[in-house]
Amino acid sequence: MKWLINNLILLFVVLSLSSCSDGAIKDVFVNIPNGNWSYDRPIKTVVEITDTSKPYNLLINFRHTEDYR
């Protein structure tokens, strides 16, 4: 029983440490002049995907003030 508990603790520690990197491919902040953004001025960025066989998560963050970064 002690062996099982020790192995579970070790597994938990290994999994916790392996998930600490964010692995972000791109992180861009675009300042909107005067806080006025129109649909006719799209914000664009280029992302290079090198491994097309694995899935990626796309996260888009919007901030309404510069207070939170």
Asked whether residue 14 is domain-assigned, the answer is no
Quote the domain boundaries for residue 49: 25-69
| Alpha carbons 22 and 39: distance in angstroms, whole number | 31
- Ramachandran region, residue 17 (left: φ > 0; alpha: ψ -120 to 50; beta: rest): alpha
pLDDT bracket for residue 20 (50, 70, 90): low
Q: What is the mean pLDDT of the chain?
A: 79
pLDDT for 5 beyond 60:
yes
- Ramachandran region, residue 44 (left: φ > 0; alpha: ψ -120 to 50; beta: rest): beta
pLDDT for 53 beyond 90:
yes
Q: Which two tokens stand for residue 37?
A: 């953004």
pLDDT for 4 beyond 80:
yes
Residue with tokens 């990197």: 21
Asked whether residue 20 is domain-assigned, the answer is no
Asked whether residue 11 is domain-assigned, the answer is no
Asked whether residue 48 is domain-assigned, the answer is yes
H-only helix segments in 1-66: 2-18
Query: What's the structural domain count of the chain?
Result: 1
Share of the chain above pLDDT 70, in %: 81
Share of the chain above pLDDT 90, in %: 1
pLDDT for 69 beyond 70:
no
